[in-house]
Chain A
Amino acid sequence: MSDIKPDVVLDTKGLNCPLPILKAKKALKGMENGQNLELASTDPGAVKDFEAFCKATGNKLVSHWMDGEVFMFMIERVV
């Protein structure tokens, strides 16, 4: 669980690579620096993918956790 209140919540459950990344990018584009995006995914590859995505784009992967079978991510828009 994350203590941060997200500014945007994105549900990508049921969508496979590369859709979670593409949808995250689209959401982040419409956000301000410092805002947080909470994203849910059922794609097992998502954990590695979001680490790589944040590293490459300079956005911050604040935290990731499991909510049952669902992978949850909190991303802060930095760039």
Chain B
Amino acid sequence: MADVDLGSAKKMTIICTKGTLDWAYPPFILATTAAAMDVEVTMFFTFYGLGLLDKKLNLGVTTLGNASMRMPMGGMQMAMPNMISMIPGVTAGTSIMMKNLIKKKGVASIEDLREAAVLSDVRMIACQMTIDLFEKKTENMIEDIELGGAATWMESALASDINLYM
């Protein structure tokens, strides 16, 4: 009773341009879920998304300019005033708070999702230009990545049923 056309596996390409904790989740959740549903996934990491490929992740989330951010605190949904982000330690504190919330709610860590992606043969491409631009070192990144440029992304995107920009 399969609705899937077994003759052509579906393909999805995601381009990840952001490296904060909140922006790390959508690409990895969608990539791993798609791979679990037999979709061939390619992830292209550029600009701040490149940080998601670092071996040691220390992802942060800011309260600054996050007008729709509401943190569950004391039974309420608390909005975060921009001003508090100025105070030393607040950004780090918010990031830790969010990571604790994630752990408490049984949501996977980015490290685990990334490992699941690699194990599911999700293709991870790092933008060569961004690496050069920010003078990053590939030794500090996870092993299972390819290096590529815009044309590499284009090739994957042209063949994909789903293309996502995040």
A interface residues (Cβ-Cβ under 8 A, vs B):
14-19, 21-22, 24-25, 42, 52-53, 55-58, 60, 78-79
B37 within 8 A of A: yes
User: Of residues B33, B105, B108, B116, which shows the largest number of chain A Cβ atoms within 10 Å of its Cβ?
Assistant: B33
The secondary-structure label for the interface of chain B is loop
Kindly list the 8 A-B residue pairs having the minimum CB-CB distance in the complex, ordered from nearest.
A58-B2, A25-B36, A56-B37, A14-B106, A18-B33, A15-B106, A16-B107, A16-B106
B135 within 8 A of A: no
B151 within 8 A of A: no
| Residues in B25-39 with C-beta less than 8 Å from chain A | 29, 32-33, 36-38
Apart from A18-B108, A78-B2, 4 more pairs, CB < 8 Å: A17-B29, A18-B36, A24-B36, A57-B4
**Across the interface, do A79 and B2 meet the contact criterion of CB distance under 8 Å?**
yes
